[in-house]
Structure 1
Amino acid sequence: MTKKETAQEIGKILDNLYTELPIPLDHKDPYTLLIAVLLSAQCTDKRVNMITPELFALADNPFDMAGQPVETVREIIRPCGLSAQKAKAIVKLSNILIEKYEGKVPAEMDLLEELPGVGHKTASVVMVQAFGKPAFPVDTHIHRLAYRWKLSTGKSVAKTEKDLKKVFPEDEWDRRHLQMIFFGREYCPARGHKPEECPICSKYGRKGMK
């Protein structure tokens, strides 16, 4: 069975398991999504969703956020971790959005990646979830599962992204990205589940992996 054929069969299982795909991070527009995804680095989506209501009550747009003291932002987002770096990035990128883009979040990957605190994965999430443009964000769950399911070599997140884009059709990227996140959270061995209990690993997983 080729990787594309395996991916097709895995896709069928994912579609049966996850018919509804809510976006994990609460937001109301591209800007609030951008900030939420930035905060999610090394932090759970659940915790981010607990913190953003207070942050967005303070400022939910770049014009209001740009004028906030970094320390004020830092105190609110402290539970997310890396609060010093993230607070500086949030205030700085808000100023950049005003200066360069009239307060709007650019809908281009390379422009997003130029913003402070915005890496490739963050930019990919914004591209697909805010603007509906094809992207395949890869987080640790997806990186791990792609290797476990023999869809990628697992050498790097960048390589995993390229591999997954090859085996899944472009119009499935957004759906597969979310499904793999939900699947990883539910069946990942790191959370106490055994590979033989996994409806995909039991059929398509690498042998000998725990």
Structure 2
Amino acid sequence: MVSGAPARTAGDESSVALTRRARRMYRMLHEHYPYAHCELDFENPLQLLVATVLSAQTTDVMVNKVTPQLFARYPDAAALAGADRDEMETLLKPTGFFRAKTNSVMKLGAELVERFDGEVPPRMKDLVTLPGVGRKTANVALGNAFGIPGITVDTHFGRLVRRFGWTTEDDPVKVEHAVGALIPRKEWTMLSHVLIFHGRRTCHAKKPACGACPIARLCPSYGIGETDPVKADKLLKFELAPGATNPYAASTPVLPGSPTAGASAPAGQGAVPPATAGAPSQPRGIPTSTGATAS
């Protein structure tokens, strides 16, 4: 049940108070979604980069249905660069905008072969020069394939941080920098995961489930959605493919009061769906360590 008055908005609280509130909200959301992770399936940096490019204007679930066949047929950058265009368009058609995406993926493969020996570079300055790759896609790759902290400003993330009163910016780059100033750098990747999870499941664009929100008492936007707990609970969504699992991320940052790895979330508060029972603790494609650096 939601209790307590909402916090002040960013417009009338000090920068110190805003930082403290933002970090507290993040800690609470991380406790609520201890299993938050990248929902695109991948086994290496190239697969994640391509999958993220394909995720534009579609769901991660749809991308995950398409990529197994895509990567089985075209397993590396050279294969993507030399792909049969008609065949790739057929494979990518379910994701929408398949002609443009085919063009981007083939050019991406060619650029990687020509400039980086077929490997995905672990540097922001290089990634954003690749076809179809902007800062959002680059941060997804850096944070999840290389373990380099990055903030992924997608539509969910941008909507939530504005509702939270963390920033009033609309430009994704300005949002990234504004939020990055509030949350420690080492937490940026997990911050992105938990906010995206919360946006997909609870804080929806049109009908946010305010009455089922774990941070309602700290949110200045509380009340824009359904506040009745029973009705709000019915608005919760899980964008999961049938039989999909939500493994706990072993590399999640340790926060004060956070559940330990493998612990279950409280019932009714972002608990792992039944299909996740027995899921591995290490998500696919996330390295246990890395020496890469971003610049």
Q: Aligned AA for 2:146?
A: F
User: Where do 1:1-210 residues align within 5 Å?
Assistant: 2-190=17-205, 192-206=207-221, 209-210=224-225
Q: Distance in 2 between matches of 1:162 and 1:29?
A: 28
CA RMSD of aligned residues (A): 1.6
Deviation at 1:191, TM superposition (A): 6.1
Q: TM-score, normalised by structure 1?
A: 0.93
Q: Distance in 2 between matches of 1:175 and 1:113?
A: 21
Query: CA offsets per residue over residues 8-65 of structure 1, 9 Å max, x none?
Result: 2102211211112332100110101110000001111011001101111111211222
Q: TM-score, normalised by structure 2?
A: 0.68
Q: Distance in 2 between matches of 1:6 and 1:138?
A: 20
Q: Which runs of 5+ in 1 are unaligned?
A: none
Q: Distance in 2 between matches of 1:196 and 1:205?
A: 14
Query: CA offsets per residue over residues 116-158 of structure 1, 9 Å max, x none?
Result: 1111110111111111112111111110000000011133222
1:144 is paired with a residue whose SS is helix
Residues 196 and 202 in structure 1, CA contact (< 8 A), matched pair in contact too: no
Residues 32 and 214 in structure 2, CA contact (< 8 A), matched pair in contact too: no
Q: Distance in 1 between matches of 2:127 and 2:49?
A: 9
Higher share of residues assigned helix: 1
- Which one is further off, 171-180 or 128-137? 128-137
- Which one is further off, 109-118 or 143-152? 109-118
Deviation at 1:79, TM superposition (A): 1.1
- Which one is further off, 153-162 or 141-150? 153-162
Q: Distance in 2 between matches of 1:165 and 1:59?
A: 36
Deviation at 1:208, TM superposition (A): 6.0
Q: Which runs of 5+ in 2 are unaligned?
A: 1-12, 226-295
**Percent identity at matched positions?**
34
Q: In the comparison of the two structures, how many residue pairs are matched?
A: 210
CA gap 1:194/1:22 in 2 versus in 1, 3 angstroms = closer
